[in-house]
Amino acid sequence: MRKTKIIATLSAKLSYEQIKEMADFFDCARINLSHGSYEDYEKITNFIRQIEREKNKYIPILFDISGPKIRVTNIEIPLEVKKKSKVALIKKTSDKTNLFLAINFPEIINHLKIGDRVYIDDGKIRFKVTEIDKDGVILEALTDGIIRKNKGLNFPDTELPLPSLTEKDLKDLDFVSKLNPDFIALSFVRKKEDIFMLRKELDQRKVSTSVIAKIERPEVIKVLEDVIEVSDGIMVARGDLGIELSLEKVPIIQKKIVELCKNKGKFSIVATQILETMVEKPEPTRAEVSDIANAIFDGFDALMLSGETASGSFPLESLQILDRVAKETEKNIKLNKSFDLKEYNFLKDDITSTIAFSAYISAITLKAKAIISFTASGQTAGILSKFRYDKDVIAVSYDIKTLRKCSLFYGIKPLLIKKSEITDELMFEMEKLLLDIGFKDDELIIMTIGLPVVEKGHTNMMKVHKIGGYLPYKEKFQKVD
């Protein structure tokens, strides 16, 4: 089993049969709310839920909230610009589309200064501010290029006076709250209060879901620890981050983020240009393959494909290659190397952390076949994931939403069990499930569970167990056989 998780961005361009075939290689589906319609999002969601049933697989859906993405709004006919030519960026729309640019957040223009850089289309077209007047600013082109409608803008030198959630985002939340989201990612996070605001909006809509902070603005680098602390997970969005910051800083920040996530016990995702070449070509570059391997060695839980799967020419092949590279890399990761409690900074002074750590140590000492975590919320499975045990770690739950959540944690395999209020019956059902998926009698496993099972709460017990010997249900089990 591949332990590193794969996230695939899906779009309405893909057919049901394509997504079904791709689902053999991805663990989580991402829907980017910056592109497409509500009809598209609902269609993809329905596809995923149907594929879940057909494949008996638990696939979480990550909805990616746009945030304050700044875009050109008035260019209907592509505008060609030459180096050193001048273009006006204006506060109010104008019919003179070949001379002026308008954007969806015109209040930004009041904050631009002489010399500030303005990038369009992921930095492919670059300008600097040379003049300021009451109507807007004059931009001088630093490169040749073609500006098209709705292309994004970046202002790497400017502190932007924008809300973390726009009116569009709030409407999007109204819609996706009806689709039972498993994860919500917030774009352009700048401070921990942005995460608080999103959680407040989700609470108002009675939506219970995990929140992922996307790291792509320079301001957030100064408060990384605060943002990671209040988020469930972190996504390193290298596209905008690489435009907003100097390129040479991105690898260092990427490594810093994954280390902070490991220390705080939060899951981490690396995204953007994972296999960019495969948007148009059937094979990646060797550099892309090395980049993937290094991200896994560094400790990322998941890797995310964007255009490669959403709009590229080789979506299935991209997933297959990412799957192969991850599996090969994992064979060479040194695991189970230390029992030093100081290495696990994410552990808290609580019962759940203590039980999880004890289970991990016991599993290594006794060479257990697997660690089995009975979980109602996924909390214990998330902690166990951080130990990187080299054998199976299985999250067992009667709650499908919990199993979907656990599907994004490194090395965690989800398993559905019948709900029971009787501990012996629950253990019997667990043994039956394990034997069905290839475990054998007398194999030793380590279990974590919260007792009594009738109550939701923290994990409070660890059990060393040999499969096949659970009484008083063994006779009943033999009759079933």
**Burial class of 208 by CB neighbour count within 10 A (0 to 12, 13 to 18, 19+):** exposed
Integer Cα distance of 397 and 412 in angstroms:
12
Over the Cα atoms of the chain, what is R_g?
25
Asked if the structure places residue 84 within a domain, the reply is: yes
> Total domain count for the chain?
3
Is the same domain home to 107 and 246? no
Q: Which two tokens stand for residue 372?
A: 């089995």
- Give, for all 481 residues of the chain, the pLDDT tens digit: 899 999 999 999 999 999 999 999 999 999 999 889 999 999 999 999 999 999 999 999 999 999 888 989 888 889 999 999 999 999 876 554 457 899 989 999 999 999 999 999 888 899 999 999 888 999 999 999 999 888 889 998 888 888 889 999 999 999 999 999 999 999 999 999 999 999 999 999 999 999 999 998 888 999 999 999 999 999 999 988 888 788 889 999 999 999 999 999 999 999 999 999 999 999 999 999 999 999 999 999 999 999 999 999 999 999 999 999 999 999 998 755 555 666 777 888 888 889 999 999 999 999 999 999 999 889 999 999 999 999 999 999 999 999 999 999 999 999 999 888 888 888 888 998 999 999 999 999 999 998 876 566 578 899 999 998 765 565 665 555 5
pLDDT tens by residue, 347-388? 888 888 899 999 999 999 999 999 999 998 899 999 999 999
Asked if the structure places residue 456 within a domain, the reply is: yes
Contact 342, 310 (CB under 8 A): no
Q: Give residue 277's domain range.
A: 5-67+164-330
Is the same domain home to 88 and 58? no
Asked if the structure places residue 378 within a domain, the reply is: yes
Asked if the structure places residue 217 within a domain, the reply is: yes
Please, what is the angle between helix 192-204 and helix 167-176, to 10°?
A: 50
Measured in whole angstroms, the distance separating CA 401 from the mean position of its chain's CA atoms is: 16
Measured in whole angstroms, the distance separating CA 113 from the mean position of its chain's CA atoms is: 35
Is the same domain home to 365 and 270? no
Integer Cα distance of 59 and 309 in angstroms:
16
The reported pTM is 0.91
Asked if the structure places residue 112 within a domain, the reply is: yes
330, 363, 394 - which closes a domain: 330
pLDDT tens by residue, 278-312? 999 999 999 999 999 999 999 999 999 999 999 99
Asked if the structure places residue 73 within a domain, the reply is: no
